[in-house]
């Protein structure tokens, strides 16, 4: 991240990219859910990407502690690592779902599972532009806006990461090939 102002065209391009990604990613994931590529066994991925979610949550908490202790470089590294892990999660998630049938939840807590799953899905879409714009503000050196947006970005991102782990543990007994 930079502490100096970026050239206006770079900022404009970054904003366009954020808006494009915020639309393309959820649409692509929804479309890819309809695609099935047979012949690949990626059933090992759900516990892996649940672990990625868990690690992301841990790194986000440590990043918060780092910035509160004015360890800016560590905070930046942890946030960049969390962004990388989120992208890795998305790739693994899509790879699993285009090669495997969906798993039906058959547990005894549908009143907990489905609201948790639905809120997780909705907020995983909402968090994309919020996190990316929050990151952009820091990149620009606009720490006032960065801090203001972080008040929304951090809890939503943390919720998505933690709820992803909980959803995995709730549905994992019903995976057929794990």
C-alpha–C-alpha distance, residues 56 and 69, integer Å: 20
18-49 burial string, b = 16+ CB within 10 Å, else e?
beeebeebeeebeeeeeeeeeeeebeebbeeb
Residue 66: what pLDDT?
Answer: 98
- pLDDT tens digits, one per residue of 63-102: 999 999 999 999 999 999 999 999 999 999 999 999 998 8
Mean pLDDT over 50-56 rounds to 98
Asked if residue 1 belongs to a domain, the reply is: no
Model's pTM, two decimal places?
A: 0.92
Asked if residue 137 belongs to a domain, the reply is: yes
* Domain that includes residue 119, residue range: 42-174
Asked if residue 103 belongs to a domain, the reply is: yes
94, 33 contact by CB (below 8 A):
no
90, 28 contact by CB (below 8 A):
no
53, 168 contact by CB (below 8 A):
yes
Residue 7: what pLDDT?
Answer: 83
- pLDDT tens digits, one per residue of 1-52: 544 456 889 999 999 999 999 999 999 999 998 999 999 999 999 999 999 9
The number of distinct structural domains making up the chain is 1
Residue 3: what pLDDT?
Answer: 43
Asked if residue 17 belongs to a domain, the reply is: no
C-alpha–C-alpha distance, residues 103 and 171, integer Å: 8
Asked if residue 10 belongs to a domain, the reply is: no
Mean pLDDT over 146-156 rounds to 98
Asked if residue 156 belongs to a domain, the reply is: yes
């Amino acid at each position: 991240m930079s502490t100096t102002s970026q050239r206006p065209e770079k900022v404009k391009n970054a904003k366009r990219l954020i808006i494009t990604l915020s639309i393309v990613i959820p649409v692509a994931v929804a479309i890819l859910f309809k695609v099935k590529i047979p012949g690949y066994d990626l059933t090992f991925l759900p516990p892996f990407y649940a672990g990625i979610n868990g690690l992301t949550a841990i790194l986000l908490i440590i990043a918060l502690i780092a910035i509160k202790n004015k360890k800016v470089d560590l905070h930046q590294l942890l946030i960049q690592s969390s962004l990388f892990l989120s992208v890795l999660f998305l790739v693994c998630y899509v790879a699993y779902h285009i090669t495997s049938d969906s798993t039906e939840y058959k547990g005894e807590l549908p009143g907990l599972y489905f609201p948790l799953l639905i809120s997780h899905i909705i907020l995983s879409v909402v968090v994309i532009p919020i996190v990316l714009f929050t990151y952009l503000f820091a990149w620009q050196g606009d720490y006032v806006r960065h801090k203001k947006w972080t008040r929304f970005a951090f809890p939503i991102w943390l919720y998505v990461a933690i709820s992803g782990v909980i959803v995995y543990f709730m549905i994992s007994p019903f995976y057929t090939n794990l």
